[in-house]
Structure formats: structure tokens, C-alpha cells
Amino acid sequence: MIMEEKSRLGRGLKDVSRFYLSDSPRDESHEPPKDESHEKPEGEPGGQEPGRDLPQPRQCRVIRVICPASALMGAYFTANFSLELARHRQKMIIFDLSSREGEGVQDVLGEAAHPDTASGVLRVRLYGLHDIPVHCSEPDGEAELLDRLNGSGDHNGDRWAVVNTPFCLDSLAKSLVDFDALLLSTLNEASLLQCYACAKVIEQRDPKAGISLVLIDPASSEQASEVSSRFCTFMKQRLGVSVGYLGHLLRDKALEDSLSEHRPLVLGFEPSPARESLAAVSRAFLEQRGLPVFGEEGRP
Amino acid sequence: MTRILKPVSGRTVDYLDQICAQYFREARGLRIVEHNLGNAFTGRIDLLATDHARVYLITIGTDGFAGCLLRSFMGYRWFRENREFLQRIYRAEEIDVTLPPCLIILSQDIPVGAAAMCRDVCAVPVSLYRYRLFGSEDDPDISIEDIAEPDRVSLQGFSLDELRKELGIEHAGLTDQDIRDFRAAMGF
């Protein structure tokens, strides 16, 4: 009996099952409520801050994750953010345009992603929820990305395509697909300035693109609030861009272990500050778009 | 945060030494002048490097951070006490040991706030890098990350053209005034 279970449940699958297997039927009819708004008190991530218009929900469901400060952090966020959204019953697809060896989404997912012999792509199987296909491409794989989005049965318009995008403004300006952007920044000057440059290029390419900001490892919530507030205000005044602040990510031992063990933080690790912060950012993302948020027990 | 480190094998230490040298050479543009200078009793420097503006004393830690820090300080003391000797050994074109020194410490486990503490306490600049070991003992992979604390990184020394190039933001077309206004708005 034990042998049989061992052969059926690998480590990755066990991790997935632990957090994702539920008795909820796979519900294909979860369309995002169009007019529903979940506003939070002012000043909170996901809430509307004074004088700031949040990005409006758009038909475009391609989200580019851009982290100028660290390729590994971008891959970490792409993988875990996608898993978190899947837990909230969103259909996800991941594209990794990063070519940094050892710092890609596949490295973060580790054994949680299995090769799918039928389609030739990796796939994270979330039993009871929608699987997540994972496409790895070169940094200049824009054409492949477009093909996949247009032609693949994986992407039929109601999935979120999360694209781990290397920091390259030239490529960003020439993107073949419309997208919203999620900028990840540390609190240092270089990283924030790169995000400013990113926002400008994105705004020039598509003034309707939604831009969100996530800060990495601030010393305190107060510091994160102040920096995000200054950044968003400047973006509004200088570029006329409304940047939605989603919150901040913390680093801890669990995060380091998840990277060194090649296991996504949201699978197979106990709750920790890093995991909680990632879950909060994911919730804020959904709430900003008026999408349902589910609790740990799988209920809205 | 407590972290129990796995011992790093002798083979991996050799590999670490090579990879770190390559990293500082290729990613940071340093010239590696010497490996394993001094000894464990009076102070040792794992890598001696320069960029012709500073001398870098690099310590590659394979045990806890406290041990690395002590070893780095001992290496610095050894360097100071033997500077004249080193001046006789190395030609000025190779390395000018009279240039201001900078300590670089690589460790698997760097406590939060360590860089800020070093800055407050130390008379010489200290740069911290975290490395991670992946793969197997026979075939290790190493990633190296600059632990630049938020308020430590200052771009004030760069000209704005250098800054745009360094950060890869030329394509955005930010003017000098844009950057100055951004800095002012963000309080940098």
C-alpha cells in the first residue's frame, strides 16, 4: 500500500496535493465579475489611495513580470504568484523569457512542473484546479509568445498569461502583444529608477497598459508605504500613469530554502512571512480587478 | 533567523574560489592578482583584486557569517601590516597596494542589516555578497548575489550619462531633468 502511494505521488505532486487538492468541482464558469468592486480602506495595498486611479480591468490578460534588480526574484515571483492565482480559481499560463541559467521559472518550480508528452510543454498539475502550462523561451522569443497566445488551446482568452520578462527596454517597446506590467523593485535608487524607465516605455507603447508595483524586502511596512506613495505620485504627475501598489514581498529562510531546494514557496512550505506577503500581493492583484478571492479552505 | 549550514567540501571550496574569481573578473571588471595570500593564523585573503581605483580584499566564507567577518578583518589587518612587503612583490601596473582598500565578503548566510552595521562600524567599505550552492557535491552550481541594502547603493557618483548606460535605461529617453526630479521626489 505504501509502495503504491510512493510510486503514484512524487514529492512535487505531494506538495501540490497538500495545498491544492480540494473537493471543489472544477468550475469552468468563473468569469470575472465585470462591475464588482472590492475597495479597501485608503492606504492599504489593493486599496485606492488619495488622488490615485487604479488600473481598470482590461480584456488584455497578459501580465509581464519585470524585476530589474534580480532575475531570480522575477522567476520566483512569476512561479509563486501564478500558483497563488490558480488557488483563487484563476486559469493561468506561464511564459518564461528569461535565459539566465539556474534563475528561470523552471528552476523555481523544480519537480512541481512535469513534461507533458502530448503538448511538449511543462505543466504544473493542480488536482481539482486548472493545470498551469509553462512555456520556456528565449528573451527574444516574442514571436513564439505571440504564436502561443494566439494559437495554443492553452490560452483561450480566459487565462492569465504571466510572462517572466527580462529587463530590456528595447524588447519591451517592441512587444508584439499588449500587456499589463507588474514591476518588482527593491527600495534602492537604481532599481526604482529602472522601474520609472520601464513605466515610461510601457506608457509610450500603450497608454492603456495597466502598471502595478510590488516592493521587495522593505525594512518596514511604513517604509514601503512611503516609497510606493512617492513613486506612484511621481508617475502620475510626470507620466500621467496610474500605478497600482500591490504590497511588498518579504524574504525569509523559507524563501531561501524554496529556492535552494527548487520547490515553490507556496507549495510544501509552512506559512512564513515571505509566503504570507506573496499571498497578500496576489489577493491585492485580484481585488484590484474585482475578482473573487478564496480562503485557504477553498471558499470565497 | 537561524540557519544551519551544510559543510562545504574541499572540492567545492576549490570550485567556489574559481567561480568567485571569474565572477569578479567578468561581472565586476576586477583584475584578480592573487589567490590565498597570508595564512589562517595571522590573516588570510582569499582573493586579492583591483580595479585600479581600489584594492579589494575578498573573503570567501564556507562557514557561518561571523567566522567570515572575523577572517575578513584579520585579512585586512594582515594587508595593512604587510603593505610595504606587498609593494615590493607586485609591480604597480599589476596592483597599486597604496590605493584605498575595500573588503568583500561572500557568505551563504548574511544576516539582515549586516551591510548597514558594517557601514556604521567599519573604517573601510565592506561589500557583501550572498552565494548559493545548487546541484550535487560532484557537480555544484553557484549563484552569487550582491547584497546591496536599500540605502547603501548610491548613484550620486555617476554622471547622468553613465547612470543611464549602467542601468540600461537609455531607451526610455529620460532627460537629465527627469532623473533629477525623480531623485528629488523619491528623497534620494
Interval B113-121 mean pLDDT: 80
The grid cell for A14 is 505531494
Of B119, B151, B115, B120, nearest in space to B130 by CA: B115
- The per-residue pLDDT for A290 is 87
List, in order, residues 6 or more apart from B111 with CB less than 8 Å away.
Answer: B1, B65
CB A94 within 8 A of CB A78: yes
Closest residue in A to B152 (Cα) is A188
Q: Which residues of B touch A219 (CB under 8 A)?
A: 150
CB contact under 8 A, B183 and A192: no
Cα–Cα–Cα angle for A48, A54, A58, nearest 5°?
145
Band the pLDDT of A269: cuts 50, 70, 90. confident
Whole-number Cα distances in Å, A73 to A164, A212, A254: 10, 16, 14
Cα–Cα–Cα angle for B52, B110, B15, nearest 5°?
65
d(CA A280, CA A276): 6
Name the range with the highest mean pLDDT among A157-161, A288-292, B1-5. A288-292
d(CA B185, CA B181): 6
Judged against a pLDDT cut of 70, whether residue A14 lies above it is answered with no
Smallest Cβ–Cβ distance between A196 and the set B151, B170, B182 belongs to B182
Q: Which residues of B touch A217 (CB under 8 A)?
A: 150
Task: Give B135's DSSP letter.
Answer: E
Name the range with the highest mean pLDDT among A50-59, A108-117, A119-128. A108-117
Band the pLDDT of A20: cuts 50, 70, 90. low
- Put simply, the chain A residues between 259 and 298 with a CB less than 8 A from any chain B CB are 259-260, 262
Of A105, A115, A117, A224, nearest in space to A166 by CA: A105
Strand pairing class (B101-107; A211-216): unpaired
CB contact under 8 A, B174 and A196: yes
CB contact under 8 A, A234 and B154: no
Of B89, B80, B26, B27, nearest in space to B55 by CA: B80
- Put simply, the chain A residues between 7 and 66 with a CB less than 8 A from any chain B CB are none
- The per-residue pLDDT for A35 is 39
Give the residue extent of every domain in chain B: 10-153, 156-188
φ/ψ (deg, to 5) at A113: -100, 125
Q: Which residues pair with A269 in a beta bridge?
A: none
Cβ neighbours, 10 Å, residue A146: 13
The grid cell for A43 is 492606504
Range in A99-108, A185-194, B121-130 the model is least confident about: A99-108
Judged against a pLDDT cut of 60, whether residue A266 lies above it is answered with yes
Note whether A200 contacts B: Cβ–Cβ < 8 A. Answer: yes
- The per-residue pLDDT for B122 is 87
Q: How far is B28 from chain A (nearest CA, A)?
A: 16
- The per-residue pLDDT for A19 is 52
CB contact under 8 A, B168 and A70: no
- The per-residue pLDDT for B154 is 53
Q: What is the pLDDT of residues A183-200, one digit of tens each?
A: 999 998 899 999 999 999
The grid cell for B152 is 547603501
| 3-state secondary structure at position B79 | helix
- The per-residue pLDDT for A163 is 93
Closest residue in A to B132 (Cα) is A260
CB A44 within 8 A of CB A246: no
Q: How far is A108 from chain B (nearest CA, A)?
A: 12
d(CA B170, CA B112): 33
Q: Which residues of B touch A168 (CB under 8 A)?
A: 168
CB A93 within 8 A of CB A132: yes
CB A120 within 8 A of CB A130: no
Q: Which residues of A touch B160 (CB under 8 A)?
A: none
**What's the predicted TM-score (pTM) here?**
0.62
Band the pLDDT of A120: cuts 50, 70, 90. confident
Band the pLDDT of A298: cuts 50, 70, 90. low
Smallest Cβ–Cβ distance between A189 and the set B3, B133, B154 belongs to B154
Q: Which residues of B touch A68 (CB under 8 A)?
A: 167
- Count contacts between A and B (CB, < 8 Å): 89
Residue with cell 595571522: B42
Q: Which residues of A touch B1 (CB under 8 A)?
A: 252-253
d(CA B186, CA A85): 32
Smallest Cβ–Cβ distance between A260 and the set B134, B163, B167 belongs to B134
* Architecture per CATH, B10-153: 3-Layer(aba) Sandwich (3.40)
Q: Which residues of A touch B185 (CB under 8 A)?
A: 230, 233-234
Smallest Cβ–Cβ distance between A197 and the set B132, B169, B181 belongs to B169
Of A262, A236, A254, nearest in space to A113 by CA: A262
Cβ neighbours, 10 Å, residue B121: 8
CB contact under 8 A, A186 and B179: no
Interval A95-102 mean pLDDT: 80
Q: Which residues of B touch A192 (CB under 8 A)?
A: 182, 186
Q: What is the pLDDT of residues B35-71, one digit of tens each?
A: 988 887 888 899 999 988 889 999 998 888 899 999 9
The grid cell for A155 is 490560452
| 3-state secondary structure at position B149 | coil
CB contact under 8 A, B181 and A198: no
In DSSP notation, chain A reads -HHHHHHH--HHHHHHHHHH--SS---TT-PPPSS------TTSTTSPPTT-PPPPP-S--EEEEE-TT-HHHHHHHHHHHHHHHHHTT-EEEEEE----TT-SHHHHHGGGEEE-TTTSSEEE--TTS--EEEEE--TTTHHHHHHHHHH-TT-SSSEEEEEEE-S-HHHHHT-SS--EEEEEE-SSHHHHHHHHHHHHHHHHH-TT--EEEEEES-S-HHHHHHHHHHHHHHHHHHH---EEEEEEE---HHHHHHHHTT--TTSS----HHHHHHHHHHHHHHHHTT-----TTS--
